Amino acid sequence: MKLTKISAAILLAGLTTTVIAAPDPNTPYIGAKAGWSHYFDLDFTDAGENNFSRNHLGAGAFGGYQFTPNIGVEVGYDWLGRANYSLKDEYTGKYTGQGLYATGKFSYEVVHDFDVYTRLGVYGWRSSNRVTDVAQGRDPKLVGRYNSTGVSPVFAAGVEYALSPSVATRLDYQYVPNLGKSRDIGMKPDNGMLSVGLSYRFGQGAPAPVVAPTLTPVPETKKFNLRSDVLFAFGKSELKAEGREALKQLFSELQRIDPDEGKAVVIGFTDRIGSAQANQALSERRAQSVVNELIGLGVPANLIEARGMGAQNPVTGSQCDNVSPRSALIECLGPDRRVEIQVTGLKTAESEM
């Protein structure tokens, strides 16, 4: 088996193995939720209000579209529950709240697979109030059914955890003020709903089409570049679990290298952030981690070695000189953080992987 095959497999694996908590860009999702719905700040027009049942089961369904890993839109329907109440022991009522919302959703990944988010937007609600006369000495009599519709702002915040690339669970708190008009139904309560939800994300993890290269006779030295960010977390030298598993699967069927085919050198590079001494040590550790993984997959130890070059030979040049803050600079310098695999002494290349 040619060393060219192994080098190409490493390159393809590095380009296609990455998982984050937020959905992939330009993908839709759907979900459902249920939890605790609480009415408060009722603003009854009748000061004799009492015995309003404020806590109820709430439920809903939602769907959204993720434009980027951090920005999306979400729409949904909520059933906020039916509340019973009494007035002066003369009347009883049943208040019902429900609504449709449209919000922007803004996410931030705290740790791998775990996001915090906020939702802001508008809430179109429909509230109804059914009033019955139950005064002592009289038979219960329906006074009337009253409805009210309107639009209020909606605010929500929550946390979301990716159980898998396609399935996520969330804990969400949502607040909507003034779900009613006093002149229509005699009250305008606020509502807060704490819910647990489950969502399904479409189109996750689908790799971009890869055009297989046409291999021609290989010169004495051939180079393959792999972005360090694909295999390592920023500032770390341990291979990510998903990267290690992908490499294991890709190489499980590969044969050992023919010793006559040559030698491979794995060279680690860092960006310029940090001291020269720290970057040199990090580049050496990263290169050695890749070498150890390849040896564990069957590459003979005498045919591969690790080298570290620190922040030398950056590929970004001066394009990041005026970039700030630090998070933007880290992203800009991403191409400088790389692992280069140099294969020397190869005689021929094969056309199949």
Domain boundaries, the chain: 3-19+210-344, 27-201
3-state secondary structure of 192: strand
Residue 74: what pLDDT? Answer: 97
Residues 6+ apart with CB under 8 A from 27: 65, 66, 201, 202, 203, 204
CA atoms within 13 A of residue 201's CA, in its CB half-sphere: 27
Q: Is 104 exposed, middle or buried (0-12, 13-18, 19+ CB in 10 A)?
A: middle
**Superfamily of domain 3-19+210-344, CATH level 4:** OmpA-like domain (3.30.1330.60)
CA atoms within 13 A of residue 255's CA, in its CB half-sphere: 6
Residue 143: what pLDDT? Answer: 81
CA neighbor of 126 nearest in space, from 66, 80, 175, 60: 80
Report yes or no: 91 and 131 within 8 Å, Cβ to Cβ.
yes
Q: Do domains 3-19+210-344 and 27-201 have the same CATH topology?
A: no
3-state secondary structure of 93: strand
pTM recorded for the entire structure: 0.52
In a structure prediction context, what are the per-residue pLDDT tens digits for the chain, which is 353 residues long? Answer: 444 444 444 434 433 333 445 678 899 999 999 999 998 887 776 545 567 778 889 999 999 999 998 999 999 999 998 888 877 777 788 889 999 999 999 999 888 889 999 999 999 999 998 888 887 666 778 888 899 999 999 999 999 999 998 999 999 999 999 998 888 888 889 999 999 999 999 988 766 566 666 655 545 666 767 777 777 788 888 888 766 775 676 455 444 444 455 677 888 898 888 898 988 988 899 889 888 887 888 778 888 888 988 889 898 888 888 888 888 888 898 888 888 877 676 455 554 44
Residue 103: what pLDDT? Answer: 96
Report yes or no: 17 and 242 within 8 Å, Cβ to Cβ.
yes
For the domain spanning 27-201, the CATH number is: 2.40.160.20
CB atoms within 10 A of CB 109: 17
Cis check: omega of the bond before 177, within 30 degrees of 0? no
Residue 29: what pLDDT? Answer: 95
